[in-house]
Amino acid sequence: MHDIDELARRIDRLETHVAIRELVSAYAIACDEQDIARLRGLFTDDAVFSSASGRMQATGGEAVCALLARALANRGPSCHWTHDVIVCPDALDLDRATGTVYSHAETTPDGVVSLAAMRYHDEYAREEGVWRFRRREISYLYYVPAEQYPAGLNGELRVHTGAGLAPADYPETLPAWQAFRQQHRGG
């Protein structure tokens, strides 16, 4: 009996990884298609969406989708794609997991072709067999107009907002980055 339970857990873990990767991809596709109804189905009713900078914050599935609709409203075509997706299932609650997702986007805020590199810190919840975002925090390495991309990584002010330039969310804020820079002052 113990072997069957262990096998079932291992299969569930593999299925969790696949389902969450598909959830992450569905989010990118829904953003590109500006499909707010589809986005709503990807978040729990008590979901939280925020940005590391604090410029974006919403609590509750409806509020998250309203926030995303406002963010998408000034954009034309876009292309979001994800790269590394790290999923960490909760060992004590098989219906919970956390994750980190690295991604890029080509977007057109206010008609300006722009490039972005992002990292999401996520919490996921399985409800009635379906994985959804429970918490999603976006951080920017950069978000720059395409013509500014060649110089985009050369300073800490790498995130263009409607009000101007803002500091990037990472890597300068990360303890490992700071420790490395402290140790290797020449770089």
**pLDDT of 105-148, one tens digit each?**
999 998 899 999 999 999 999 999 999 999 999 999 999 999 98
How many residues comprise the chain?
187
Calpha distance 169→23 (Å, rounded): 24
| Per-residue pLDDT tens digits for 27-38 | 999 999 999 999
Other beta carbons less than 10 A from residue 57's beta carbon: 13
Other beta carbons less than 10 A from residue 90's beta carbon: 14
Is residue 165 very low, low, confident or very high in pLDDT (cuts 50, 70, 90)?
confident
What's the token pair of residue 94?
Answer: 């098989």
Q: Is there a contact between 85 and 118 (Cβ–Cβ < 8 Å)? A: no
| φ/ψ of residue 66, rounded to 5 | -65, -40
Other beta carbons less than 10 A from residue 106's beta carbon: 15
| Per-residue pLDDT tens digits for 33-75 | 999 999 999 999 999 999 998 889 999 999 999 999 999 999 8
Beta bridge partners of 86: 100
Other beta carbons less than 10 A from residue 104's beta carbon: 16
Domain ranges within the chain, ordered by starting residue: 2-183
Which class does domain 2-183 fall in? alpha beta
| DSSP symbol at 55 | S
Q: Is there a contact between 19 and 34 (Cβ–Cβ < 8 Å)? A: no
